[in-house]
Amino acid sequence: MRIFSGIQPTGRKHLGNYIGAISQYVHLQEEGDPAIYCVVDLHSTTISYEPAELRERFYDTTAILLAAGLDPERCILFRQSDVREHTELTWMIGATATSHGDLNRMTQFKEKSAKQRELVSAGLFYYPVLMAADILAYNTDLVPVGDDQRQHLELAREIATRFNSRFGETFTVPEWRIPEVGARIMDLQDPTSKMSTTSESTAGTVFVLDEPKQIEKKIKSAVTDSGSDVRRALDKPGISNLIEIYAVTTGKAMEDVEAEFAGSQYGAFKQAVADAVIAYLQPVQEAYAELRGDEAALEAILAQGAEKARAISAPIVAEARDKMGLGRPVA
């Protein structure tokens, strides 16, 4: 089973990224044949950014992935812009298998474009096509993603089906896997919104590299409700979010968490959540500190990964190109 997923290098990685994506990557590298992971720097250029900061965040993200447990001997890890097949295939499938209406329905474009204070780029509109190309270039069987990417995955499947129908069987129609627990970790100060690096305040966002005291402060200040019982309910989004965080970081079922803290006050429960998150992130923080300073070593890993990625994607994109009638005919 071939696995592919990508992660943006913009912004500091937070607990939601770690639980919803990175921890999945580590687990699935044992299942992938191969597991292919891409730091999608091209996607990051679709909104306003500073080039120097993008490079810094790129190395930060790469070091976090490795610190979390990705092993270059057991998976392929590379930088998106190092493999030109991604951009070539984007144009090919965009021109032949993607409609304007498809892209106009993407909720993430509507949300992100509404927040843009400067240029709303065509790249932001075209973002889902590049994402589809990322996936289809490897004939991916399975894509581990967060729940917010479901619509983009549905479009990638539709594009693959359309292309195959028009030009003949070429691309694998991918499936996706969304974690049952932890797919949507919510903001601690606004538990109706997903935890994000773009929130106006960082008070509700636990970053992977936050100091233990910062983590404790943020969790103990989390918005809950006027009650005192630790249980999941639609009218208790704050405490429900904390229950999910505690369940993931301790490996317990949410029903067992509710039973464990039955009769407890919110203060005691929040302290337990803070302790669990601090312990959960400690190993990756320690490994990150050892890895981040050696950018040459990070580049060597990425170069090796890009070579392996091109060996897979180049023949697939060449076949698609030939079927479209582009370039020199394949003998």
Task: Give the mean model confidence (pLDDT) for residues 248-267.
Answer: 92
Pick the range with the lowest mean pLDDT from 6-20, 89-103, 274-288: 6-20
| Diameter over CA atoms, the chain | 73
pLDDT for residue 46: 85
Pick the range with the lowest mean pLDDT from 104-113, 118-127, 229-238, 240-249: 104-113
Q: Determine the CATH number of domain 212-289.
A: 1.10.240.10
pLDDT tens sequence across 119-145? 778 888 899 999 999 999 999 999 987
pLDDT band at 180 (very low <50, low <70, confident <90, very high): low
Domain 3-178+294-323 in CATH 3.40.50.620? The answer is yes
Contact criterion met (CB below 8 Å) for 68 and 25: yes
Predicted TM-score (pTM) of the model is: 0.91
Backbone conformation region of residue 269, classed left if phi is above 0, alpha if psi is from -120 to 50, else beta: alpha
Residues of the chain with CATH 3.40.50.620: 3-178+294-323
DSSP conformation class of 81: G
pLDDT band at 287 (very low <50, low <70, confident <90, very high): very high
- With a cut of 80, say whether residue 330 has pLDDT above it: no
pLDDT for residue 49: 86
Question: What tokens does 244 get?
Answer: 């999910």
Contact criterion met (CB below 8 Å) for 203 and 188: yes
Q: Which residues contact 237 (CB under 8 A, 6 or more apart)?
A: 186, 191, 192
Task: Give the mean model confidence (pLDDT) for residues 172-190.
Answer: 84
C-alpha 196: how far from chain center: 12
pLDDT for residue 107: 80
- With a cut of 80, say whether residue 114 has pLDDT above it: no
* SS3 label, residue 261: coil
Q: State yes or no: cis peptide before 34, omega within 30 of 0.
A: yes
pLDDT for residue 197: 78
- With a cut of 90, say whether residue 282 has pLDDT above it: yes
Task: Give the mean model confidence (pLDDT) for residues 155-174.
Answer: 97
Pick the range with the lowest mean pLDDT from 98-107, 118-127, 203-212: 118-127
- What sign does the dihedral 2-41-25-20 (CA atoms) show? negative
Residues of the chain with CATH 1.10.240.10: 212-289
DSSP conformation class of 20: I
- The letter for the amino acid at 327 is G
Lookup result for tokens 């409700």: 225
* 220-226-228 Cα angle (round to 5): 70
- What sign does the dihedral 29-31-34-38 (CA atoms) show? negative
Lookup result for tokens 């990224």: 17
Task: Give the mean model confidence (pLDDT) for residues 179-200.
Answer: 82
pLDDT for residue 198: 73
